Amino acid sequence: QVQLVESGGGLVQAGGSLRLSCVASGGTFSSYDMGWFRQAPGKEREFVAAVRWSGDRTYNGASVKGRFTISRDNAKNTVYLQMNNLKPEDTAVYYCAASFKRATYLYIESMYNYWGQGTQVTVSP
């Protein structure tokens, strides 16, 4: 059973930056594709970014392109989400997820096998 624990969320002013981390345990991290999703109050969960198990391919959701960067360190069993130029509309609970399905489309929630509990990000105007 894989466990994912997110950290790094908090309150930041618009235009600021945060870096989220997600540490995995209980599995072979280097074999999983990893993703970040977010869910704002009253809205459906939304794809943010994903990275392949090897780290050589990354994908971003349209709303965060050019501002957010996903990366991973397989030696530390950790995936990161660097968030720059934050906007109030980025306010949400951010979740990391792991997939061993070798899915073609990592923006689809059902492609993921394990989820973390989430970390709150709040961006003030």
Give the type of residue at 124.
S
Query: Residue 103 has what pLDDT?
Result: 86
Query: Residue 104 has what pLDDT?
Result: 87
Query: Residue 27 has what pLDDT?
Result: 86
| pLDDT per position as a tens digit, 21-51 | 999 998 899 999 999 999 999 999 999 999 9
At residue 1, does pLDDT exceed 90?
A: no
| pLDDT per position as a tens digit, 70-118 | 999 999 999 999 999 999 999 999 999 999 988 889 999 999 999 999 9
Q: How many helices (H) and strands (E) does the chain have?
A: 0, 11
Give the type of residue at 10.
G
Query: Residue 18 has what pLDDT?
Result: 98
Query: Residue 102 has what pLDDT?
Result: 84
Query: Residue 60 has what pLDDT?
Result: 97
C-alpha to C-alpha distance for 50 and 69, rounded to whole angstroms: 9
> Dmax over Cα atoms in the chain, in whole Å?
40
Beta bridge partners of 25: 3
